[in-house]
Amino acid sequence: MKNILVIGANGMLGGEAVDYFNSMDGYCAKGLSRDPRFNFQEAVESHLRTGTYDWCINCAAMTDTAGAETMPYKRL
């Protein structure tokens, strides 16, 4: 069984990735999405430290491209 962490699972690509891998034998995908109640970077780091994942797929995106240029600290 391959365990997969999909970051950005609430988006279109991330949601499709979770559904795809969970529909296949031998794969178990867990989605991780941004939650405004928590620090997203800390949540990702915690999952990577405590989880036993074979793969980590990053599907997260910042849709405010101008903001990504002017506020790089908000990218993750």
pLDDT, block means (10 residues), the chain with 76 residues: 92 94 96 76 85 91 76 67
The confidence score (pLDDT) of residue 68 equals: 72
Q: How far apart are CA 7 and CA 44, in angstroms?
A: 8
- 11's tokens: 């988006």
DSSP 58: E
The confidence score (pLDDT) of residue 20 equals: 97
The confidence score (pLDDT) of residue 36 equals: 66
Provide the whole-model pTM: 0.76
